[in-house]
């Protein structure tokens, strides 16, 4: 398992892409996807929602459990990944790519986001 | 008090296969190896291999072993033929279910009682307490056995390639001693998946050799190792109760819809008879909540403890729920008031974290294999 270098990470196991015109893409890490098991239902924030760093903004449901989805940053949601809503297993099969969850226009970032190496050390993976 | 989890004889093997391990009734058990959905589908369509060494084996021997078990359990164990097995229960004096069990009659005066891991000590203690006055002996054999299961439509073919035992002559719910892959085993045609399959009780020191031989024999059939996660979805689809979910000390077998396992006609008294007679009459006069199946119309998964609702009122409770790989929808077992328990009842939902999601009421099981 390798965590892409160009991403940043939260301690809640989300990843955050670099900003493009102020907008970042958010997903959960491969480590988190593996820990969840087969994801079968995803409730994502909706376009226009305001999400807050460290607060819940959705749900990921796997065979065994329900997990809250946290936002790694504060801002306004500009897109939710309909492909994941239609086929939640994308979160398992391509967590850093097709399994992204939502895009957010970042208003504020917490100062404790981790680099890939820091996250690898933090998660042990 | 915290104690280290117990490890099965196959622990190192599971870790080498990359299993995700989980604590289960004090045992460190494989939850899944890769995708639990793939494991589930392997058992439904081909074959899967399980380590079930956490189950509790208790041997009962002696001239009055049969009479003793008929007294201590709700079933009529005296009528179980040699080489056959029976599903039964052990209840408290008040009729509450202590555990559900499979009892194998290995010989005229020798039985093996298989208890759930979480209840094994209680079952052992209870049997030991009840054996007084009978010419019989209760022996803790939990450490004497590892238990492997091959389940799925291809399991007879897989097993045949590594044993000379007469599998065609081995009926469902029967067991015979034999040799599998050079290892002495009690071969039982039982399981908990809704599929044809076999459970193999062997000495722990033989478990790894047997696992490897079965893996090799199963390769042409795409047999894969399977964990407890898919075992739960398999048994749920098959409508089989799980202790702690559908069965508890608060319920009698009649409340659980399993009154048929209670044999009032058997010779002699048995523990719980009086309470169970009353429970049977109560169930007749005023039907208790009924165990039904629920199929989701949406994609949100009901979990144990979630309320079943109808017309804005709570009419039941989910006991087990999961996404069903075979049906492609979330399913649940639930105890529901008789008024809402008929298959097709309109307007039934499950309160999923505050939202009432619509569900279809169906008869159990959700899945039945073709014979």
The whole model's pTM is what?
0.91
A12 and chain B in contact, CB less than 8 A: no
Cβ distance A40 to B303 less than 8 Å, yes or no, reads: no
* pLDDT tens readout for residues A39-91: 999 999 999 999 999 999 999 998 878 899 999 999 999 999 999 999 999 99
A85 and chain B in contact, CB less than 8 A: no
At a CB cut-off of 8 Å and minimum separation 6, what does B54 contact? Answer: B6, B8, B24, B25, B27, B29, B117
Of B31, B229, B301, the CB nearest to A40: B301
Chain B neighbors of A61, CB-CB under 8 A: 300-301
Of A34, A38, A66, the CB nearest to B37: A38
Q: Which chain A residue is nearest to residue B38, measuring alpha carbons?
A: A38
Cβ distance B36 to A40 less than 8 Å, yes or no, reads: no
Helix (H, G, I), strand (E, B) or coil at A122: helix
- Residue B157's pLDDT is 98
Average pLDDT per block of 10 residues along chain B, 371 residues long = 85 97 96 94 98 98 98 97 97 98 97 98 98 97 98 98 95 94 97 97 98 98 97 97 97 95 95 97 90 94 96 96 94 96 96 94 94 69
Alpha-carbon distance B171 to B249, whole Å? Answer: 32
A38 and chain B in contact, CB less than 8 A: yes
Alpha-carbon gap: B307 to the closest alpha carbon of chain A (Å): 16
Question: B interface toward A at CB cutoff 8 Å?
Answer: 20, 31-32, 35-37, 229, 233, 299-301, 303, 322-323, 330, 353
C-alpha A29: how far from chain center = 7
Q: Which of A34, A37, A38 to mutate to test the interface with B (most CBs of B within 10 A)?
A: A38
Total CB pairs under 8 A between chain A and B: 34
Q: Which of B29, B30, B37 to mutate to test the interface with A (most CBs of A within 10 A)?
A: B37
Chain A neighbors of B301, CB-CB under 8 A: 40-41, 61, 66
A63 and chain B in contact, CB less than 8 A: yes
Alpha-carbon distance A111 to A118, whole Å? Answer: 14
Buried/exposed B194-212: b ≥16 CB within 10 Å, e otherwise: bbbbbbbbbeeebbeebbe
- Residue B287's pLDDT is 84
Cβ distance B301 to A37 less than 8 Å, yes or no, reads: no
A46 and chain B in contact, CB less than 8 A: no
Q: How confident is the model at residue A125 (pLDDT cuts 50, 70, 90)?
A: confident
A76 and chain B in contact, CB less than 8 A: no
Of A38, A61, A66, the CB nearest to B36: A38
Chain B neighbors of A40, CB-CB under 8 A: 299, 301, 323, 330
Question: Own/partner pairs for B246-249, CB < 8 Å, 24+ apart?
Answer: B246/B291, B246/B319, B246/B320, B246/B333, B247/B89, B247/B97, B247/B99, B247/B100, B248/B96, B248/B97, B249/B92, B249/B96, B249/B97, B249/B98
User: Average pLDDT, whole number, for chain A?
Assistant: 94
């Amino acid at each position: 398992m390798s965590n892409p270098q160009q991403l940043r990470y939260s301690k809640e196991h989300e990843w955050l892409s670099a900003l493009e015109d102020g907008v970042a893409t958010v997903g959960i890490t491969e480590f988190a996807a593996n820990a969840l098991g087969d994801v079968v239902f995803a409730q994502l924030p909706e376009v226009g929602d305001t999400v807050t760093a460290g607060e819940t903004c959705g749900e990921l449901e796997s065979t065994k459990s329900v997990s809250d989805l946290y936002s790694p940053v504060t801002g306004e949601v500009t897109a939710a990944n309909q492909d994941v809503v239609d086929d939640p297993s994308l979160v398992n099969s391509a967590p850093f790519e097709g399994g992204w969850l939502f895009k957010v226009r970042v208003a504020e970032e917490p100062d404790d986001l981790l680099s890939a190496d820091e996250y690898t050390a933090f998660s042990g993976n | 008090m915290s104690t280290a989890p117990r490890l099965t004889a196959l622990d190192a093997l599971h870790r080498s296969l990359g299993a995700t391990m989980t604590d289960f009734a004090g045992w460190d058990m494989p939850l899944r190896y890769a995708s639990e959905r793939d494991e589930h589908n392997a058992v439904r369509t081909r074959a899967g291999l399980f380590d079930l060494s956490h189950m509790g084996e208790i041997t009962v021997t002696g001239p009055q072993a049969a009479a003793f078990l008929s007294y201590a359990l709700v079933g009529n164990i005296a009528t179980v033929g040699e080489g056959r097995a029976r599903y039964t229960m052990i209840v408290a004096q008040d009729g509450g279910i202590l555990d559900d069990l499979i009892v194998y009659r290995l010989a005229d005066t020798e039985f093996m009682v298989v208890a759930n891991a979480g209840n094994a000590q209680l079952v052992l203690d209870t049997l030991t307490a009840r054996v007084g006055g009978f010419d019989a002996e209760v022996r803790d054999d939990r450490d004497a056995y590892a238990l492997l299961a091959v389940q799925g439509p291809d399991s007879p073919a897989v097993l045949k390639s590594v044993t000379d035992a007469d599998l065609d002559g081995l009926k469902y719910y029967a067991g015979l001693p034999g040799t599998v892959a050079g290892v002495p085993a009690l071969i039982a045609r039982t399981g908990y998946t809704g599929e044809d399959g076999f459970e193999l009780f062997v000495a722990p020191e033989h478990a790894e050799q047997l696992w490897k031989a079965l893996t090799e024999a199963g390769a042409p059939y795409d047999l894969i190792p399977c964990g407890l996660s898919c075992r739960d979805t398999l048994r749920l689809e098959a409508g089989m109760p799980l202790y702690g979910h559908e069965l508890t000390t608060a319920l009698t077998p009649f409340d659980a819809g399993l009154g048929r396992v209670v044999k009032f006609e058997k010779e002699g008294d048995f523990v719980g008879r009086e309470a169970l007679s009353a429970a049977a009459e109560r169930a007749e006069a005023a039907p208790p909540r009924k165990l039904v199946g629920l199929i989701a119309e949406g994609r949100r998964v009901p979990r144990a403890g979630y309320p079943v609702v109808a017309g804005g009122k709570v009419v039941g409770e989910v006991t087990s729920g999961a996404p069903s790989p075979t049906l492609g929808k979330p399913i649940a077992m639930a105890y529901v008031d008789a008024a809402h328990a008929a298959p097709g009842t309109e307007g039934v939902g499950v309160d999923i974290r505050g939202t009432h999601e619509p569900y279809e009421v169906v008869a159990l099981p959700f899945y039945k294999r073709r014979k």
